Amino acid sequence: MGMVGDIFPVFNQLLGREVKERQLGQRGVVVWLTGLSGSGKTSIAIAVEKELYSNGFFTQILDGDNIRSGLNSNLGFSAEDRLENIRRIAETAKLFAECGVITICCFVSPEVNMREKAKQIIGEDDFYEIFINTPIAICEQRDVKGLYKRARAGKIEHFTGVNAPFDAPLKPFLEIKTEGTSVLDCATILVEALIERIKLK
């Protein structure tokens, strides 16, 4: 008796990206939110996801909570591990995008080389870099996880904005200045910038 592939020749042929995008009625992209810890990346992403969902789009958010606890649970915060963290995230996001999913990534990714690596893996046409620009004073005031406080006390080394630099994107797809702007308004700005790019032509 032959193998399954002999009986069903199509079995070994993966469905292409265009087929999946047509089924979902959208174009798969990676929306890469970068900014300081506490800048509002995840809050904005959640609001964007809800707005897109209400308009019939299918999304997936990737952030530190659902990546560091699983896929990258074996990584620390050395320079090498941080770069590997971004590499794995980019590879995962690429898979989602190739399935037609609008993938929203929320990572500090403070160095230009990290974001360039992500763009190289994902592909320039699918990569939308969004700079969530929030002054460090506001980020530190929020300090939801107490990270700034610990960094100021010398308990966290190489913490972005305190004892490690943040390389602001020079030419992001979109820069959102959050000071004085609500999360919902930030989300609307982002959705309006993306909407024509995620609709199927």
Distance CA 44, CA 32 (A): 12
User: Six-digit token pair at 38?
Assistant: 């506490």
Q: Calculate the CA dihedral of residues 161, 41, 32, 95 and round it to 10 degrees.
A: 120
**Which sequence positions are flagged as catalytic?**
109
Let me know: does 12 contact 5? Beta carbons within 8 Å. yes
Distance CA 94, CA 90 (A): 6
Residue 38's Cα: distance from chain center in Å?
15
Q: How far is CA 41 from CA 69, 132, 187, in A?
A: 18, 6, 10
Let me know: does 28 contact 99? Beta carbons within 8 Å. yes
Residue 31, Cβ neighbours under 10 Å: how many? 28
